[in-house]
Amino acid sequence: MSMNNPYLPEMATINEVIEETHNIKTFRVTLNDTEKMKNFTFEPGQVGQLSVFGVGESTFVINSPPTRMDYLQFSVMRTGEVTTKLHSLEAGDQIGVRAPLGKCFPYEDMKGKDIIFVGGGIGMAPLRTLLLYMLDNRKDYGNISLLYGARSPNDMAYSYELDEWFSRKDLDTTLTIDVEFPDWKHRVGLIPNVLLEMNPSPENCVAVTCGPPIMIKFTLQALKKLGFEDNQIVTTLEKRMKCGVGICGRCNIGGSYVCKDGPAYTYEQLKQLPNEL
């Protein structure tokens, strides 16, 4: 076979499954071909297609950073056929991986700048890869702050990492939940409101946000209110995807194919596309 078949997944093994919330599990995966695993490279924000053979494929961001290559990590919210099947898998099970796909966050352009991450629910997954990458290359970036919200403490993925994030002096972490909850020691309120209260300065700052569509919508409004320019806001999109390589035709916004030209976009880029999120 002379051509590289873009549809053919690499066989991979699930090494560890972490139960994050009632509907989110995290999978740590290595490619079975050790040579390929050793040479595997990607950039923060790129995605992969996970295959459960017999059920299908679904797209997830690689949420481990390229600086930590012991495994590739994917967090999966149970919503449809493939994700339900993925949730039934255990360590040792075989899946297929097609990665990396898509374009990464503009992390090179963000060097020397302050960064504020605004993540909601499972939207924390794509931010995690970039956050950890930046922490591993800490000197390249200015102040880094994180606002992470979920419906309730029980809906908060990566809770086991939060202590470490809080303990870091070079990361300013703020957590929020939508409504009061017993023994919750952090903030209560919707993400865009908390963001406005935090009042981050847009000067030399880039905001990176991901979450449910409604949260992104109001977060964008809050960021604009805070004085962030369109090119200072970065987000990453969800779309139904099949091929993952810009051919099958369903994830387009006008002429931009989210699987290949995204999923990471600046707000400035998004505004140039037709209004069809």
The site for another protein (CB under 8 A) is made up of 1, 3-9, 11, 13, 51, 53-58, 79-83, 92-94, 96, 212-213, 238-240, 242-243, 245-255, 260, 274-277
Closest distance of CB 243 from another protein, Å:
7
What residue ranges in 110-193 does DSSP mark as E strands? 114-120, 144-150, 172-177, 187-188
Indicate the Cα dihedral angle 183, 188, 190, 193, nearest 10°.
-160
Between CA 172 and CA 72 the distance in angstroms is 26
Closest distance of CB 244 from another protein, Å:
9
Closest distance of CB 201 from another protein, Å:
33
| Closer residue to another protein in complex, CB, 80/227 | 80
What would the 3-class secondary structure string for 95-125 be? EEEEEEECECCCCCCCCCCEEEEEEEHHHHH
Closest distance of CB 99 from another protein, Å:
14
| Closer residue to another protein in complex, CB, 36/242 | 242
| Closer residue to another protein in complex, CB, 74/133 | 74
| Closer residue to another protein in complex, CB, 114/261 | 261
Closest distance of CB 96 from another protein, Å:
7
Sheet architecture: strand order including 24-31: 56-61, 47-52, 94-101, 10-19, 24-31, 72-77
| Nearest alpha-carbon partner for 59 in 262, 270, 271 | 262
Q: Which residues contact 200 (CB under 8 A, 6 or more apart)?
A: 114, 116, 145, 207, 226
| Closer residue to another protein in complex, CB, 96/153 | 96
| Closer residue to another protein in complex, CB, 206/215 | 215
Between CA 165 and CA 150 the distance in angstroms is 17
Cβ proximity of 26 and 74 under 8 Å: yes
Closest distance of CB 271 from another protein, Å:
13
Structure tokens belonging to residue 9: 């997944």
| Closer residue to another protein in complex, CB, 213/227 | 213
Between CA 95 and CA 81 the distance in angstroms is 15
Closest distance of CB 231 from another protein, Å:
21
Cβ proximity of 77 and 24 under 8 Å: yes
